[in-house]
Amino acid sequence: MLCGLVLLIAGAELLVRCAVRMAANMKVRPLLIGLTVVALGSSAPQMTVSLQAAFNDTSDIAVGSVIGSNIFNILVTLGLSALIIPLRVSRQLVRLDIPLMILASGLVFALALNKQLDRLDGVALLCGLLIYLGLLLRQSRHSGHHHASHDLPPTPWLHNVLLILTALVLLGVAGHLLLGAAVTVATELGLSERIIGLTIIAVSTSLPELATSLVAAVRGQREIAVGNVIGSNVFNLLGVLGLTALVAPAPLSVSPNALAFDLPVMLGVAALCLPVFYTGYRITRGEGLLFLGLYLAYGLHVVSFTTGMPLAGKLEHLMLFFILPALLVFLLFSTLRAWRRQH
């Protein structure tokens, strides 16, 4: 476990350093590197786990780990990063990437309504990923060179690539070590596949994103800290679930509990980003605490449901029918007020 944590921190530090230098060499914004190279690389453990789970006929882990990872990335990774330093959010994220993340979340929810994700659904999700990457490429051509970092000395292209590959290997090995330890503990506790996927595996596979964003925040690379999370979530939904559904020997089953609670929470958390990010184009420390509080409430529900506590049903109804709607209404009014000030 300790070895995995050391490798995780080392890999994240190396990845952020290389991402900044790559952005400078390519004369593009660090945000683009965060949305693509960093996000795709830090999502590699999630891809490995979901594919392995699908071939082992444990669909609840394959699907649940993606849902849990996306919830964790936004509420915990961004929440903790914002506590370190308030995160600046670019207009591109608000206008393009976050709406696409919400759209991808809604698409997965809609495709899962028949309680499974089959090969056709996988093709649809992968096509969505190609469209997203195409939009990012187009966006980089329009605005990349105006925001490049010119204060860093150029480094050879091959040198950057090799260092990034090294960082990704370190993150992958670290994720594998931590995941193995977590699954062993969860199995000994007798947890269900859905709960293991939503919690233990989701958190373990999200550790590369968490470490990368925290290191980026500490180093002042706030665009990478935010872009890594948004890009990783989009890739999880469209790339990881898409490829897993496409190559799995059987359609991925989606449990009724995931349809009734986990997927709506994931969609609500994704939608929550838009008004929070739009008000001032930043994530304040207070909003970071709000994100962490929401994840604590979600975690309490999962624990109470797992242990059979009588509060499980009440917590679920409180989350779905009071806390999330009230929060969304409040943020909607905050967004409208911010929009009026700007216009």
Which residue ranges make up each domain of the chain? Answer: 2-342
Q: Can you give the pLDDT at residue 69?
A: 92
- Choose among 69, 104, 143, 118: nearest CA to 298: 69
Block residue for tokens 């990457």: 133
Q: What whole-number distance in Å separates Cα of residue 302 and Cα of residue 39?
A: 27
Q: Which helix (H) or strand (E) holds 253?
A: strand 252-253
Cα atoms in the Cβ-side hemisphere of radius 13 Å centred on 158 = 0
Q: Can you give the pLDDT at residue 8?
A: 61
Q: Can you give the pLDDT at residue 33?
A: 67
Sequential pLDDT tens for the chain (343 residues): 567 656 666 665 666 667 666 666 666 666 676 667 667 766 777 777 787 778 878 788 889 889 999 999 999 999 999 998 888 888 878 888 899 999 999 999 999 999 999 999 999 999 999 998 888 878 766 655 444 444 545 566 677 778 777 877 776 676 667 666 666 766 677 777 677 777 777 887 787 788 888 888 888 877 778 888 998 899 999 999 999 999 999 999 998 988 988 999 999 999 888 878 877 678 888 888 889 988 988 887 787 776 666 655 666 666 667 766 776 676 667 667 666 666 6
Both structure tokens of 270: 């994704």
Q: Give domain 2-342's CATH number out of 3.60.10.10, 1.20.1250.20, 1.20.1420.30, 1.10.1300.10.
A: 1.20.1420.30
Q: Can you give the pLDDT at residue 101?
A: 95
Q: What whole-number distance in Å separates Cα of residue 338 and Cα of residue 332?
A: 10
Q: Can you give the pLDDT at residue 308?
A: 66
Helix axes 59-72, 263-278, angle to 10 degrees: 20
The amino acid at 205: T
Q: Can you give the pLDDT at residue 78?
A: 93
Beta bridge partners of 88: 282
Q: What whole-number distance in Å separates Cα of residue 38 and Cα of residue 184?
A: 29
Q: 105-138 burial by CB neighbour count: b if 16+ within 10 A, else e?
A: bbbbbebbeeebbeeebbebbbebbeebbeebee
Q: What whole-number distance in Å separates Cα of residue 180 and Cα of residue 153?
A: 40
Q: Can you give the pLDDT at residue 117?
A: 95
Cβ atoms of residues 135 and 159 within 8 Å: no
Q: Which helix (H) or strand (E) holds 248?
A: none
